[in-house]
Amino acid sequence: MSDEREAPEVDVVALPGGALAALEAVLMVADAPVGADRLAAIVALPTDDVVGLLEELAAEYRGDAGGRPRGFELREGAQGWRIYSAPSHADVVARLVLEGQSARLSQAALETLAVIAYRQPVTRGQVSAVRGVNVDGVVRTLLARGLVAEVGQDPLSGAVLFATTGEFLDRMGWASLDELPPIAPHLPGIDALDDLAARDRATQPAD
């Protein structure tokens, strides 16, 4: 017999603060973005109604109606809705979060992430060809932070292919890769990238 129990039905409208407060309560404990469909199922309301409520909350937090701007904001990212600390207070929040340790990506990591973002999916060899250095350690760092992920294998070399993740988009505040700034022309074309990486494939084992 299963021990799983279904959560009791709750009339969120009848709760203190109504549906808006119910959504706030859910978002406050969410450790990852939550899609509007999922939120609608949780509060038992139509998705369109929930989207409207979320947009109302987001506007309230921004102080759009003349209220006090909050130290946090509600944003919709690639993976759903989530409450974030306001960018204007990033330095203050960093004092608590960092506790003397730098959580920023190194220049090497930023450059590697940029190549992956604009030329994904790519292999380590292809990224190394663009940067001119071995990127194994940097890629491991990006994987550990959830900014990139393995998405398959190169059909020719068998090397692992990497691409950016929804977490990357959310960290950047973007909903899709279409919002990447137009700097791609400054990176080698994909054909040139393949030619450069071929030398690595000839001398290094596949990822």
Residue with tokens 């393995």: 150
Q: Is 149's pLDDT higher than 60? A: yes
Q: What are the phi and psi torsion angles at 171 (to 5°)?
A: -65, -35
DSSP H or E stretch at residue 161: strand 160-164
Sign of CA dihedral 178, 183, 187, 191: positive
Q: Which of 59-73, 85-99, 112-126, 190-204 has the highest mean pLDDT?
A: 112-126
Q: Which of 9-18, 40-49, 99-108 has the highest mean pLDDT?
A: 40-49
Q: Is 168's pLDDT higher than 70? A: yes
Residue with tokens 């400054």: 186
The whole-angstrom separation of Cα 202 and Cα 157 is 10
* Whether the model pTM is above 0.75: no
Q: Minimal CA–CA distance to 140: which of 207, 81, 205?
A: 207
